[in-house]
Amino acid sequence: MSAQDILSVYEIDEILADNNTANLPKNHRSLLDKLTRKPQHIDIIAEAANLTTHTASSILAELELADQVQHVGNMKYIQKT
């Protein structure tokens, strides 16, 4: 199973095809809005987006597959765009 297959299952590929994040699910958009180019720990991101760390981790994995975020080590993430 490829990254594209996973994005297709969650219909994230179609949403991000035109780089329009406004159509992302609410939790995805909320989390993405909290990210910057400054590395932030997943716990900080989750709290800011009012999500559990578990949910934030799943969403970050999807957004990373969609090339929207980047894991930079030590459980820290940045927004790529």
- Per-residue pLDDT at 60: 95
The CATH T-level fold of domain 3-79 is Arc Repressor Mutant, subunit A (1.10.10)
N- to C-terminal Cα distance for the chain? 26
pLDDT of residue 12: 66
Q: What pLDDT, on a 0 to 100 scale, did the predictor assign at position 25?
A: 86
**One digit per residue, pLDDT tens: the chain, 81 residues?**
776 776 677 666 665 655 566 778 899 999 999 999 999 999 999 999 999 999 999 999 989 888 889 999 999 999 987
Longest dimension (CA), the chain: 32
- The reported pLDDT for the residue numbered 7 is 66
**Residue spans per domain, the chain:** 3-79
